Chain A
Amino acid sequence: MAINVIAPINRISRERIVREFFRTTSYPRKNLVDIILTDRPFDFAHPWKDKFLEAMRWSFRHHYANSAFYQKLCIEKGFDEACIGSFDDIWDIPFVLSDVFKMYTIETKTPDPLRDEMSSSGTSERKSKIWLDRISGQRLMFSLYHINKALGLVGQKTSNYFLMAYNPALDETLGTTMSGIIMSYLTPRKGIFYGIDLDKEGQVGFLKDRSVEKLKEFLDEGLPIRMIGFIHHICEMIQSYRERYGRVIFPEDSYIISGGGWKGANPYGASFDLYRFLAEHTTLDPKNVRDLYTLIEHEIFYLECADHNKHIPNVAMACAREPRTLKRLSYGERGLIHLYSPLIESCPALSLLTTDYGYIGESCGCRIGGPYIKILGRAGVTKKATCAFTADQYVKDRAGT
């Protein structure tokens, strides 16, 4: 694994913004979008639909007026604000395909000059990159905080944090790193360790040995541990720990929160059973293992509940679409996941069609209830049974492999 080391231009300000937010867990409300942000992230009772519609209308107006890209896209598709007459019209708001953000950095102008660059981990192919303005960042933190709170992940016990993500000193723009840092404020924090950092030779990589020793140190300390980030690195570390010191006896209230494009780089293979692995190597209750689905262009947290369903919070909507027709599918039907949210002002991703397969579950059986997303995998370049030279071969050739 090798990345360009990017100078941390505004690391201090980012850390400070996170810290400041968590001092009060509130932010200055600004416009109609803010009406959907409450401390009840899974409350869909009346008048949620009306509020969400208003927020989406505002968001559409804003992106249409301030993103030349989005305006032209909507004109091409014959869609304007008048087309959003009712709640159900939200489903028809023109989408941007998530992979387009891997090709281009597309902005929406906002009055806020403070913008942070954010990028995806790019584990499977190119990185997505967006600019995030201050109000959007604050909304996302507010939303993230209350989602975690509702799902039982905000606590008062001081914990040690294991971020299986890049050290922000190397690249603070990475979404997985920033998400991890923000999540490390969900409890009082004692220690924090980054598993991906510079090694002795100055190369960036997963520091397995150092991680194992740090894990030993954290376990000896006895405080709850929260491991956040790339799950295959977490598993590799646990496996090495087991070989060296025996089964990992997690302190009570410990969690693993996985996230960040790991599936494409999973060395354990497609049939890998995470829960069986963890049961074999650790004492962690499976209910405390939570997967997180989020995209850099759409940083809403779809976080698993204890029943392992990724709940859709009320700051977003989601559906699955049939790949052939892009027709909206019913609950339980597999298709491409399409996400909607008005929270981000600096990037026209209010309607984002992803290239992830999944389905929408109607109602989770947990106490939160409500709809949830099941992610089933990422659409890939098909390995076609063909003698025609295809894109996958082209990509390999260009990469020199």
Chain B
Amino acid sequence: MIVRKEPFRQFIFGETIISKDPLPPDEIEKMILKARALAESGEVPSQDEILAVFSRLSKAWADPMYEKRQEALEALSGNSGLSEEFIKAILEEFFKIIDAGYLLAKIEGELAGAAIQDDLVACGKDEGIRLIARPAGLVLHVGSGNVFLACVESLINGIITKNVNFLKMSTDDRDFPVIFAESISEFDPSGVISRRLAVLWWRGGDEATEGLFKRHMDRIIFWGGTEALASWQKNLGPSAVLIRHGHKISFGIVSRAGLESAGLSDLTDNIAMDIAIWEQKACNCPQMLFLEDAIDDIDVKRFLDSLSGSLERITAMFPPGRRSDDEYVEVLKAREFARAEHLVTGRPVSVLGPKTFDWTIIFEEDSAKQGFEPSPLNRTIIVRRYSSLKTLSDLFKGYSFYLQTAGYCLADAEIQEYAMKLSAIGVTRLCPFGIMAIPTAGTPHDGSFALRDLTRFTVIEK
């Protein structure tokens, strides 16, 4: 864990404060009580007011010369572990996910219509029953350091559902969330959003501080690992609902019919993008790839050659991020275990990839090999064969809680059958390769709609 000793910035209801230490618990409590009073005042900004701020914000972030964008690039190049080229590419796209049109589509998709946030709307066929969506109240977003956008996107969800939001920054990234909050403030002169927003940092596990949030929050959105999650699950107050986004695993499937109908080079470029993006540290990046047994050996070889080429190209374009020695050793172990398995058992196993561990394909040709195993990440993909959809779904028995996205290359006629089977075993999203880490606006994440989780629905019956 990197704990910096130099002063760091926090953003509290429209103001940036710089300090060496986190806020003491008594100040945090005062801040929470102030937020509670604001939430209970019933004064909520309109959807138009919120989206107007995002409209201005999005235009600013679309400009590569925008000061805050440049500041974000510099900060993230230092602390995210990702390559500068990759961060630039992410920031190039960032304005799209804060665009008012995109956010409106998200609200419409997740809350079944945009009007429900500001007005009573009829529910279903019975016109006598109407609904209105209200903010849950006080929301804490607990950020993780692996995907710097995740906690900011979570914060945006909290904002567009009109909540009063707190964000706990990860120790690995104490810059981007504050930069973003300051940017909001810049385009929000009347404080529609910024006076309902605090971006803070304290050392994870600080019982006094975390106890206050557990007691006073209405929602806690958790992003991160299992140990921290266990701590947040304890001693929650009566109003606090914990929404957890813990460890998940994603994978890819290529059927024979899908491969026949796909352009090979485009397909493997898309798979390589899914593998390289976020260095596989995001839950929706594939760790394993399953090729249908029916694909003949020549086509498998062509596929692997093409995937190698795609990974090589994407690595030239987006060099790997910073890795720890342990991470290199994990990839080394995975490669050497695969080689040893081949040499000892005679099972056909191939290890492809440069000596520098920039990327690795471990192809275990024997479909009799059962079970799934996580890859050591960092652009390492384990490729196996599967004989049928049933055997594929059987591999994940006992792990349904951890399943998330299945990227696919299937024939159109196969998608329904795969979706029915894989959704039944716990997969929460199926999508074509290339967008595994880029969910569509208005769709659920980890099996539920984020905006609904942050919303309290009031029903009015006649």
Please list the residues of chain A having a beta carbon within 8 angstroms of any beta carbon in chain B: 68-69, 72-73, 76, 96-97, 99-100, 103-104, 106, 323-326, 336, 355, 357, 379-391, 393-394, 396-397
Chain B's closest residue to A335 (CB) is B325
Chain B's closest residue to A385 (CB) is B145
Interface string of B277-316 (1 = CB under 8 A from A): 0001111010100000000000000000000000000000
Q: Is the CB of A382 within 8 A of B144?
A: no
Select A388's contact among B285, B340, B357, B399, beta carbons within 8 Å.
B285
Give the residues in chain B near A73, CB-CB below 8 Å.
339, 343
Task: Enumerate B329-382 residues with CB–CB distance to A below 8 Å.
Answer: 329-330, 332-333, 336-337, 339-341, 343-344, 355-357, 373-374, 376-377
Chain A's closest residue to B81 (CB) is A385
Known: A100-B336, A386-B283, A388-B374. 19 other contacts (CB 8 A): A69-B340, A96-B336, A100-B340, A103-B337, A103-B341, A104-B340, A323-B329, A323-B332, A336-B329, A384-B146, A384-B281, A385-B145, A386-B225, A387-B246, A388-B280, A388-B285, A388-B377, A393-B226, A396-B226
Beyond A99-B333, A103-B340, is A383–B225 a contact (Cβ under 8 Å)?
Answer: yes
Chain B's closest residue to A99 (CB) is B333
User: Shortest beta-carbon distance, A401 to chain B, in Å?
Assistant: 11
Query: Considering the chains assembled together, what is the distance between the CA atoms of A119 and B226 in angstroms?
Result: 33
Beyond A103-B340, A106-B344, A324-B328, is A386–B377 a contact (Cβ under 8 Å)?
Answer: yes
Give the residues in chain B near A391, CB-CB below 8 Å.
330, 373-374, 376
Query: Considering the chains assembled together, what is the distance between the CA atoms of A384 and B326 in angstroms?
Result: 10
Beyond A385-B172, A386-B225, A387-B224, is A323–B340 a contact (Cβ under 8 Å)?
Answer: no
Give the residues in chain B near A393, CB-CB below 8 Å.
225-226, 247, 374
Give the residues in chain A near B344, CB-CB below 8 Å.
69, 104, 106
User: Shortest beta-carbon distance, B448 to chain A, in Å?
Assistant: 15
Beyond A69-B344, A104-B340, A323-B328, is A387–B249 a contact (Cβ under 8 Å)?
Answer: no
Q: Is the CB of B281 within 8 A of A382?
A: no
Give the residues in chain B near A104, CB-CB below 8 Å.
340, 344
Interface string of B246-281 (1 = CB under 8 A from A): 111110000000000000000000000000000011
Give the residues in chain A near B376, CB-CB below 8 Å.
391
Give the residues in chain A near B150, CB-CB below 8 Å.
387
Chain A's closest residue to B329 (CB) is A379
Query: Considering the chains assembled together, what is the distance between the CA atoms of A56 and B223 in angstroms?
Result: 53
Beyond A336-B329, A383-B225, is A72–B377 a contact (Cβ under 8 Å)?
Answer: no
Q: For A68, A336, A388, A390, which residue has the most chain B Cβ atoms within 10 angstroms?
A: A388
Q: Is the CB of B332 within 8 A of A387?
A: no
Q: Is the CB of A389 within 8 A of B337?
A: no
Q: Is the CB of A324 within 8 A of B357?
A: yes
B184: interface (CB < 8 Å): no
13 pairs of residues in contact across A and B, judged by CB atoms under 8 Å: A103-B340, A106-B344, A326-B355, A382-B326, A384-B225, A385-B144, A386-B144, A387-B223, A387-B246, A388-B280, A388-B281, A389-B249, A393-B226
Chain B's closest residue to A393 (CB) is B247
Query: Considering the chains assembled together, what is the distance between the CA atoms of A394 and B330 in angstroms?
Result: 14
Query: Considering the chains assembled together, what is the distance between the CA atoms of A397 and B281 in angstroms?
Result: 19
Select A387's contact among B172, B283, B323, B325, beta carbons within 8 Å.
B283
Please list the residues of chain B having a beta carbon within 8 angstroms of any beta carbon in chain A: 144-147, 150, 170, 172, 223-226, 245-250, 280-283, 285, 287, 323-330, 332-333, 336-337, 339-341, 343-344, 355-357, 373-374, 376-377, 399, 402
User: Shortest beta-carbon distance, B227 to chain A, in Å?
Assistant: 8
User: Shortest beta-carbon distance, B7 to chain A, in Å?
Assistant: 23
Give the residues in chain A near B355, CB-CB below 8 Å.
325-326
Q: Is the CB of B402 within 8 A of A389?
A: yes
Query: Considering the chains assembled together, what is the distance between the CA atoms of A379 and B336 in angstroms?
Result: 15
Chain B's closest residue to A104 (CB) is B344
Beyond A100-B336, A388-B249, A388-B282, is A394–B373 a contact (Cβ under 8 Å)?
Answer: yes
Beyond A385-B224, A387-B246, A387-B247, is A380–B326 a contact (Cβ under 8 Å)?
Answer: yes
Give the residues in chain A near B287, CB-CB below 8 Å.
388-389
The 4 closest A-B pairs by CB, nearest first: A389-B249, A323-B328, A385-B145, A379-B329
Query: Considering the chains assembled together, what is the distance between the CA atoms of A383 and B337 in angstroms?
Result: 21
Query: Considering the chains assembled together, what is the distance between the CA atoms of A99 and B338 in angstroms?
Result: 12
Q: Is the CB of A387 within 8 A of B329?
A: no
Give the residues in chain A near B336, CB-CB below 8 Å.
96-97, 99-100
Give the residues in chain B near A355, CB-CB below 8 Å.
329, 333
Query: Considering the chains assembled together, what is the distance between the CA atoms of A385 and B357 in angstroms?
Result: 20
Select B247's contact among A103, A324, A381, A390, beta carbons within 8 Å.
A390
Query: Considering the chains assembled together, what is the distance between the CA atoms of A72 and B328 in angstroms?
Result: 25
Give the residues in chain B near A324, CB-CB below 8 Å.
323, 325, 328, 356-357
Q: Is the CB of B330 within 8 A of A388?
A: no
Q: Is the CB of A389 within 8 A of B329?
A: no
Give the residues in chain A near B402, CB-CB below 8 Å.
389
Q: Is the CB of A381 within 8 A of B326?
A: yes
Q: Is the CB of B249 within 8 A of A379?
A: no
User: Shortest beta-carbon distance, A343 to chain B, in Å?
Assistant: 22
Query: Considering the chains assembled together, what is the distance between the CA atoms of A357 and B326 in angstroms?
Result: 10
Chain A's closest residue to B342 (CB) is A72
Query: Considering the chains assembled together, what is the distance between the CA atoms of A73 and B355 in angstroms?
Result: 16
User: Shortest beta-carbon distance, B218 to chain A, in Å?
Assistant: 23
Select A385's contact among B146, B226, B373, beta carbons within 8 Å.
B146
Chain B's closest residue to A383 (CB) is B225
Give the residues in chain B near A69, CB-CB below 8 Å.
340, 343-344
Select B245's contact among A382, A384, A387, beta carbons within 8 Å.
A387
Chain B's closest residue to A70 (CB) is B343
User: Shortest beta-carbon distance, B157 to chain A, in Å?
Assistant: 16
Q: Is the CB of B224 within 8 A of A97?
A: no
Q: Is the CB of A387 within 8 A of B356?
A: no
Q: Is the CB of B144 within 8 A of A387?
A: yes
Q: Is the CB of B248 within 8 A of A388?
A: yes
Chain A's closest residue to B228 (CB) is A385
Query: Considering the chains assembled together, what is the distance between the CA atoms of A380 and B330 in angstroms?
Result: 8
Select A379's contact among B170, B326, B339, B356, beta carbons within 8 Å.
B326
Q: For B225, B250, B399, which residue has the most chain A Cβ atoms within 10 angstroms?
A: B225
Query: Considering the chains assembled together, what is the distance between the CA atoms of A355 and B376 in angstroms?
Result: 15
Chain B's closest residue to A336 (CB) is B329
Q: Is the CB of B147 within 8 A of A387?
A: yes
User: Shortest beta-carbon distance, B77 to chain A, in Å?
Assistant: 17
Q: Is the CB of A387 within 8 A of B248?
A: yes
Give the residues in chain A near B340, CB-CB below 8 Å.
69, 96-97, 100, 103-104, 106
Give the residues in chain B near A383, CB-CB below 8 Å.
225
Q: Is the CB of A385 within 8 A of B225?
A: yes
Select A394's contact among B146, B323, B329, B374, beta carbons within 8 Å.
B374
User: Shortest beta-carbon distance, A131 to chain B, in Å?
Assistant: 14
Q: Is the CB of A389 within 8 A of B326?
A: no
Q: Is the CB of B333 within 8 A of A97?
A: yes
Query: Considering the chains assembled together, what is the distance between the CA atoms of A103 and B342 in angstroms?
Result: 12
Give the residues in chain A near B377, CB-CB below 8 Å.
384, 386, 388, 390
Query: Considering the chains assembled together, what is the distance between the CA atoms of A382 and B281 in angstroms?
Result: 12
